[in-house]
Structure 1
Amino acid sequence: MDEFWFFKVVNLFIASLFLVGAWCSRKGVGVWLNPASILFLFWFLYTALPLLAAFEAPVNPLALIYILTFCLAFSLSGLVFSWSKAFALNDLKLNAQFYFDGGLYSLVFYLMAVFSAIMIFIGVLQQGISIDQVIENPISAGGVYAGKRYSGEIVSSVYAQLGLQASYCTAILGGLIYGARSHGRSRKLVLVFSFVPALLVMAMQSAKGLFFFSIFLFLGGILVTRIYNKNYTLIDAKGFRSLFVCGLLVLPVVIASFLSRGIYQLDDLGQVLNRLRFYLVTYSSVHLPAFSDWFSERFLGESLMNYKHDYLTGGFYTFMSFFQLAGDNRELPMGIYDEYYTYGDYVKGNLFTIFRGLINDFGLVGSVLFGFALGLLCNMFYWHLLCKRESAFAVVFFIFFVAFTYQTYIVSSLTWLTLPFVFLIQWLMLSCLIKSKIR
């Protein structure tokens, strides 16, 4: 017991160092709104939350030190840029409303939202789920869809893919328009329409990934508009209040999605609450103890589980979508990894963070060097975003950086072929919209 509490205190101390890293990056760049601070703050949350929510699960401090080292390597590349010059050039830009609102923006945004919702609805119907099922009991319909997904019975559908692609674009455009507008009822309408496709997927398919990814695409768009408006804060008091209210509104929807997985059929309230706690802990906190256990076995030979190890796979797990485009057809489980880390009654899952794939791909030292190179790339496009007046590529890159960073607690976002295509489509679309607005 003494050893457990010792490691718990040590781990919480290491988690606090991510906040220190975010502050140091802020001092180096001059503002909080920079790639390194964003990465450090995400990983403060992704270490502190599991250490508290999955309190009983052991975590090896060495695994935390490795993640901290990766984030530090990522941040060091920021030292090579002249940030004062970049911010001086950014001061010469017009505000965000000029670039990201009015003109065709609203028309394209609402058309994308409606188109996405229709395609998603048709895609669900193609799985043999009737309109009556969806309307009368969407929770039950979502459970049926989830069952088909886990049993491999989902029929490939071009409608579902179109709906998915359009939903990402809707969230990105929504974030840009919402951030560019200062006030008005239309701003609230943009907020609602931005998440209609993702909410439909969560209700009718019992899938939450799209919704949370859309949130961070939306927030990435807002952060871009803050840069154009010369407001370099990540969040303020008003933002905290808005997040709290949105969280209260979203929580019942998330719980309803969990209920669709059969919980609503349980009669005992205690069983329902225990099952909900299991899902909440599993989805928010299993990644850290699971990665720690895998890390311990690979480098120390100490683990609660037995894992399959890959050695220096040359980027396959990090850039899987590009390998597949090049014709790599190696088979993997649906969740990338088929080992399920289990500890106690509430901690179970196969989320091992992006770092398991990075270490498999490049080794322990190589993955840290990769972190430096990745930081150099992200800081370069952030610098480009500050210096250029209408760089659609830099805008889209930064938005996806925010969303990809959010997803690092799960796996590399480049695992899925959908996202590179979305990036390309959104880049071309935004280029046309900005050019039409300037004309």
Structure 2
Amino acid sequence: MRTQVGIIGAGPAGLMLSHLLHLYGIESIIIESRTREEIEGTIRAGVLEQGTVDLLNATGVGERMMREGHFHHGIELRFNGKGHRIDIHELTGGKNVTIYAQHEVIKDLVAARLKAGGEIIFNVGDVSLHQLDTPTPKIRFRKDQDGELQEITCDFIAGCDGFHGPSRPAIPETVRKEYQKIYPFGWLGILTVAPPSAPELIYANHERGFALVSTRSPEIQRMYIQVDPRDDIANWPDDRIWEELHARLATHDGWELIEGPIIQKNIIAMRSFVCDPMQYGRLFLAGDAAHIVPPTGAKGLNLAVADVQVLARGLESFYRSGKTELLERYSEICLRRVWKAERFSWYMTSLLHRHPDHTPFDRRIQLAELDYVTSSRAAATSLAENYAGLPMEFETTAGVSL
């Protein structure tokens, strides 16, 4: 097989990149280790920045999101038994956040690619990358996991295959530097069949640990509590989960959490991770293959979309005029945004979670910071503009118009 851009991974990064390249008239083939049913059926959170929403709409895949998504003008920070609203819409001059699950974004992008005749090869195995430092890099894989070995010859390869995929390890260890922070706590997440308990997301800081309330649909709600990442989900019967949620979210004004049957629960660890550079030869990493953020800042999907916007512009410039400046600066441009998102995600995580080593002094500093950010317009504005999404920082370089 031969294509211009070979894409490994049919998550938000790979699918959006293929969609953007199609709009630029550039051919691509996506390979994915899971089945279509698996990628569309794996329920994942989705808090979309304004820029992500604008891109989905501008490229023709936002219709269902606009019909079914939940548009929030703000978020609530809750501590000391009281809620404090951060008015994102007002503080950012009109930006919002949209609650629309990641697997729904994937459904929309898969449908758009298949409708346009795009090629997505699902359920592949034994994926490997070759000749990355040549003009004709290659992807080898087995179709249907254990089938015959096949090969795609490309001009470029986009590694959009997540943290555990083969793309990042294909960059020599002598070239890549990896930065990582492991947090000493995790999230126990549940899906519950219940009406919304609040009109917007609630981020709660409590003596017993962090809690989060968000919505997935008018009938399904998503909630989290801070736990030890080494804990066993078997230690958390439904009654215990609800007890913790009620305790951590309690207020002095009579607010009530609405319970319902829990249909899913799991524990996830939390870490921050960055790979530098995000490119090697004709290979470019995007999304979780290059960086991981803790979910507190709601940046994962949005960073993936930002990466592929930069990459798509660089590829379009190459195929249109032969210029390589943007491709050469891909890591530099993306990592500037990535590190800002890492900083914000670390800040939100540090602000809201109880650290095992917290002293009484540390606890009072944390509460003072919460008091400050909810009472200072300047501090609230900083939080709001980071949460709603910083602007894309495309630059004009060597005559390349962006």
| TM-score using structure 2 length | 0.25
Considering fraction of residues, name the structure with more strand. Answer: 2
Q: State the structure with bigger RCO (CA 8 A, min sep 6), 1 or 2.
A: 1
Considering fraction of residues, name the structure with more helix. Answer: 1
